[in-house]
Chain A
């Protein structure tokens, strides 16, 4: 059985991500469009990265951090048959700072299986 402090840390992390005041409304759709769910989480988008020499470069970087338990509760299949997080090519949309809804596709997932959070690295997606 997990320790009480660990359980509290998990609950805190999930709360901060989903209702800590920095959350954004996020829609996630399976690649076949069969399932669409709405959740809340951190959504970050900036335009600075660093090349292999450490120099700053202008490069779009979009990622979200979401609570895996909320996805499961909403009915989204998060893991594959081997129990690994498998969200590649799922479609994500959320509004940017101007309120414009933008579409993305999940290109990488960085799950934190201590706290139950998943960071998804997003790429631009043209839904038209």
Chain B
């Protein structure tokens, strides 16, 4: 049987949106670091698996988590897609400033920054063309790894759950053009109901 989907399947919405979330965060977080004259080294990554390294200070990682489809039609579907924005931070202790507290404050600062950026109405469509997404929602956050008592870098991690309503489309099957009326029978509404009328 030959393949019947002959068109090239385009990049799916969740692929585009994942990349765009990372781009928006990289741009806006770097701008905030400059605006606030922060000395923190921040890296924004997409689908990174390599663990947070001791040579890093703040790391933000955008990962696709899951999606649920609803409002199905033949040509499109709405997808509630979950992206996890994982934020890592570490800090060293200094005079009067314990490292665990400093890393926690650093984590919360960038966690809040990411929430603000992603929920800002200026990024209601994540700067994507109209019709790509139907809404963006920062659903929740959770602090996960508490630094162990022997962890010298006081590393902390938080996950921001970001939901995007994405429109996914698929082409309809091309119909066969009718050459004209192929029947001489009409179904007509009469006083007695629908009646077949020969023409």
Q: How far is the CA of A80 from the CA of B53 in the complex (A)?
A: 12
Q: Which B residues are within 8 Å of any A CB, using their own CB?
A: 49-51, 53-55
Q: Considering the chains assembled together, what is the distance between the CA atoms of A106 and B192 in angstroms? A: 82
CB distance from A46 to the nearest CB of B (A): 20
Seen from chain A, the residues whose Cβ lies within 8 Å of a Cβ on chain B are: 80, 82, 84-86, 88, 107-109, 123
Bound complex: CA A107 to CA B53 (Å): 9
Q: How far is the CA of A80 from the CA of B54 in the complex (A)?
A: 10
Distance in Å from the Cβ of A80 to the closest Cβ of chain B? 5
Q: B55, A108: Cβ atoms under 8 Å?
A: no
Chain B residue nearest in CB terms to A109? B53
A residues within 8 A CB of B55?
80, 82, 84-86, 88, 109
Distance between B86 CB and nearest chain A CB, rounded to angstroms: 17
Q: Which residues of B contact A82 (CB under 8 A)?
A: 55
Q: What separation, in Å, do the CA atoms of A97 and B32 have in the docked complex?
A: 50
Q: B50, A88: Cβ atoms under 8 Å?
A: yes
Query: B49 contacts which chain A residues (CB < 8 A)?
Result: 107
Complex: A107 Cα to B49 Cα, angstroms: 9
**Cα–Cα, bound, A85→B50 (Å):** 15
Chain B residue nearest to A82 (CB atoms) is B55
On chain B, the residues within 8 Å of A109 by CB distance are 53-55
Within the complex, the shortest CB–CB distance from A124 to chain B, in Å, comes to: 13
Which of the listed residues B53, B54, B55 has the most CB atoms from chain A within 10 Å of its own CB?
B55
Q: What's the least CB distance linking A37 to chain B, in Å?
A: 19
Contact residues in A for B53 (Cβ distance below 8 Å): 86, 88, 108-109
Shortest C-beta distance, A7 to chain B (Å), equals 24
Cα–Cα, bound, A84→B54 (Å): 7
Smallest CB-CB separation from B50: which chain A residue? A107
13 contacts across the A-B interface (CB closer than 8 A): A80-B55, A82-B55, A84-B54, A85-B55, A86-B53, A86-B55, A88-B50, A88-B53, A107-B49, A108-B50, A108-B53, A109-B53, A109-B54
CA distance A82 to B152 in the complex (A): 14
In the bound complex, residues from chain B placing their C-beta under 8 Å from that of A86 are 53, 55
6 further interface pairs, Cβ-Cβ under 8 Å (given A85-B54, A85-B55, A88-B55): A82-B55, A84-B54, A84-B55, A86-B53, A88-B53, A107-B50
Residue of B whose beta carbon sits closest to that of A86? B55
| Beta-carbon nearest neighbor of A79 in chain B | B55
What's the Cα separation between A84 and B41 when bound, in Å?
Answer: 14
